[in-house]
Amino acid sequence: VVDLLFTSDGAENVAAAPAGTTGTVALAPTTANATNGALALTVPAGAAATFSAPSLVNNKSTTVGTLGAVTVNDGRVVSRNGWDLSANVANFVNSTDATSTISKIQLGLAPSVTVAGTSATGVTAAAAQVAGSASYPAAFASGAAANTVGDSVLNAGLTFVAPQEKAAGTYTSTLTLTVVSK
């Protein structure tokens, strides 16, 4: 126990505790060296983007949707290298006529970082790809070195614009995400 006394000018005086009222205990915890975990990408099993019903915009069939949440987990607590996530898209194929395809450049992709569930810092979404002039593979997001340990939950807005000469129907494709260390 330490009694604090203050002088009239506000200075602090520390009075010694009475004899027999204090004691000391030595502290010497042992620590272990941290080890790097893995850099991993989690996409839910059976993941499928959701799209709204198509509408005509400038007489072109246009539909919008969302990719759905994916997570980059960076467990590299020692090296903290950072990472880059890229997206690649296959050309779209008509589900009833495999000879009818639509180029992947027709898929617009607007990546975003989802605050809920994201514990990492230093994560930024890449610039959007514009439907009709998209270029794949494309950057999706990146994690800055020294900051990205933990989970980064990502999503993307999607816009698909079909050329006017293409037959109506369902066109299928796949989007492949790849995370690499910096």
DSSP assignment string, 54-107: PEEETTEEEEEEE---EEEEE--TTT---EEEEEEEPPEEESS-TT-EE-GGGE
Per residue in 89-141, pLDDT (tens digit) is 999 999 999 999 999 999 999 999 999 999 999 999 999 999 999 999 999 99
One-letter amino acid identity for 145? A
Would you mind telling me the total number of residues written for the chain in this entry?
182
User: Does the structural domain 34-181 have CATH classification 2.40.50?
Assistant: no
Q: Which pLDDT belongs to residue 138?
A: 98
Strand 55-57 relative to strand 3-6, pairing: unpaired
Q: State the pLDDT at residue 13.
A: 58
In this prediction, residue 2 carries a pLDDT of 52
Tell me what pLDDT residue 144 has: 94
> Which residue do the tokens 């990502």 mark?
154
Return the pLDDT at 1.
52
Q: Domain residue spans in the chain?
A: 34-181
Low-confidence ranges of the chain (pLDDT < 70): 1-15
DSSP-H helix ranges across 11-138: none
Looking only at the bridges linking them, the beta strands covering 83-89 and 138-143 are antiparallel
Which has the closest alpha carbon to 156: 75, 43, 53, 55?
A: 43
pLDDT for 9 = 61
CB neighbour list of residue 174: distance below 8 Å, 6 or more residues apart? 89, 90
Nearest alpha carbon to residue 115 among 125, 107, 105: 125
Q: Please give the Cα distance from 62 to 53 (Å, whole number).
A: 9
